[in-house]
Amino acid sequence: MKKIGEKRYRGEIGRYYEDFEIGDVYEHRPGRTITESDNINFSLMTMNQHPMHCDAAYAAKSEFGKPLVNSGLTVAIVLGMTVPDVSGKAIANLGWESITLTAPVFPGDTIYAESEVLDKRESKSRPGAGIVKVRTKGVKADGTVFMTFDRSALIQKREGNIDTEAGY
């Protein structure tokens, strides 16, 4: 929250490069309960018609006994949860590495995310920015880790940032 006047404050999203410390862990909240409708709509919108996501009768005969949430949806939700803490002041995402899916997610599951800062360095090509690398875990409400991935982003530094230049 940034004070911009006598009794006026403006919400902010993200951290500047200088605010990241290697080893810090951010618990991203709120969580998200994934519905059957979320799963079917995402699967069909992205043209993933695998019956494990949208055919309950088919999924009932599988080892899971019920539909699985599309992993593309869980990646998207977990990534989105990280934005206010990790990349809200990003100039660009630079890449994702090592996406692993370690447990199933089902409609009705509530998921959370947390990110640990693995590395940071000044950008060689952009003096007003630095590169931050985090490892993000997707965690179900029961504590089961269902996903991990590493992500690097180019993050603005506090001085000369576009938020200030744009009147934010």
- Measured CA to CA in angstroms, residue 123 lies from 41, 80, 129, 134, 135 at distances of 39, 24, 6, 16, 19
The pLDDT, as a whole number, for residue 9 is 84
pLDDT higher than threshold 70 for residue 7: yes
Q: Kindly indicate the confidence band of residue 6, based on its pLDDT and cuts at 50, 70 and 90.
A: confident
d(CA 4, CA 87): 23
d(CA 89, CA 85): 9
Closest CA to 147 of 95, 84, 98, 108: 98
The pLDDT, as a whole number, for residue 11 is 81
Q: Strand, helix or coil at 149?
A: strand
pLDDT digits (tens, 9 = 90+) for 112-152: 999 999 999 999 999 899 999 999 999 999 999 999 999 99
d(CA 146, CA 138): 6
pLDDT digits (tens, 9 = 90+) for 45-104: 999 999 999 999 999 999 999 999 999 999 999 999 999 999 999 999 999 999 999 999
Q: What angle do CA 156, 158, 161 make, to 5 degrees?
A: 60
- Tell me yes or no: is domain 24-35+69-165 CATH 3.10.129.10: yes
Q: Are 24 and 116 in contact (CB under 8 A)?
A: yes
